[in-house]
Amino acid sequence: MQDWIGLIFVVLLVVGAIVGLKALSRPRKTTAEEFEKAAAEGSTMAGAMANALQEIVDPGFARAKQVQTEMKEGRYKKKKQDGKTEDTTGETND
């Protein structure tokens, strides 16, 4: 009798594992707004540490991230919108 109980337990355990894995492997349907929100909030501690380490190892990485941000915002290599430019001395010219 105890052999049958053990066999039933093992079978239920295997079936439960298969059903659980099927449920976990199913893709979750998200809207574009949900995806954007999750991507904006998705900076984790591990990701932040990896970026910091990358900036230390590769000094050009920080500049590359800055350029990517400027290109996304549409202001890469553009002068200021107010019409004033700065000299190398820091003085403004009209």
Helix, strand or coil, per DSSP, at residue 89: coil
* DSSP, res 85: E
pTM reported for the whole predicted model: 0.34
The CA–CA distances, whole Å, from 82 to 32, 41, 46, 67 equal: 35, 33, 40, 21
Q: 77: how many CB neighbours lie within 10 A of its CB?
A: 7
Q: Where are the domains of the chain?
A: 45-76
Chain segment 18-41, per-residue pLDDT in tens? 999 999 988 878 788 887 777 777
- pLDDT score recorded for residue 79: 60
